[in-house]
Amino acid sequence: MTRAYECRHKWAKPYFSKVFCARMCSTQRSECANFMLKIHTVCNSSINAFITQYTKLIDDRESCDADAERKNKQKIIKVHFGYPMEKHASVIYTAKVYNLFKKELIKSTSYLVLPSMEEHTFVVKHVQAESRESWSKVIYKIKVDESIGYYTCECGLYEHFGVLCSHVLAIFVNRGVCKIPDLSYNEAVDKASKVI
């Protein structure tokens, strides 16, 4: 237990919340690759047979990726609420990422935007804050610079997963933001550090 606690920066979510991982766990990619190789190759096969099967596996994966991309381009995504930013999300995101965005947008209806004393900062509070568990976080601060499209929440969902969180989306709805900013997180941070 002591050793696990000493290396908590490697596994505890708060320590890597600002590290982009696209919803992937640390071992998920290698476990998936190992599983795929085990399906396509026999454990005692020769190196030539392994290379042949590995090449076939790569071709199969690329074919599946191309097929998924083609299907995604042909599919029209129906918007749920009709907000302009939601329509923009349906154009720029794949169907799977849009579904993640939609879940966050639905959760955003549970937050109220409150005034903040700090400049370039908004505060959102859960509408049922009093009835939630005592350990549950109900108030979030979001740093904003609308001139450059910089929005970052202390929950770190966007920086970690690449999907805007419900807290930022509540501000988007409140402020009438029509488009999802096209800046990457690093570009926004660089520009914001010069402005703020």
Residue 13 DSSP code: G
Among 121, 80, 103, 89, which Cα is nearest to 165's? 103
pLDDT-derived band of residue 10, with 50, 70 and 90 as boundaries?
A: low
Higher-scoring residue by pLDDT: 192, 20: 20
Higher-scoring residue by pLDDT: 91, 185: 91
Rounded Cα distance, 167 and 80, in Å:
18
Q: What are phi and psi of 123, to 5 degrees?
A: -125, 135
What average pLDDT does range 160-189 have in this prediction?
Answer: 79
Query: Which DSSP string do the residues of 90-154 spell out, in sequence order?
Result: HHHS-HHHHHHHHHHHHHHTTEEEE--SSTTEEEEEETTGGGS-TTS--EEEEEEETTTTEEEET
| Type of residue numbered 89 | A
> Do 141 and 122 touch, CB atoms closer than 8 A?
yes
Q: Is a pLDDT exceeding 50 seen at residue 48? A: yes
What average pLDDT does range 81-90 have in this prediction?
Answer: 88
| Type of residue numbered 127 | V
Q: What is the pLDDT of residues 123-143, one digit of tens each?
A: 999 998 888 888 888 899 999
Query: Which DSSP string do the residues of 32-47 spell out, in sequence order?
Result: HHHHHHHHHS-TT--H
What average pLDDT does range 54-71 have in this prediction?
Answer: 82
pLDDT at 195: 46
Percent of the chain with pLDDT over 90: 17
> Do 167 and 155 touch, CB atoms closer than 8 A?
yes
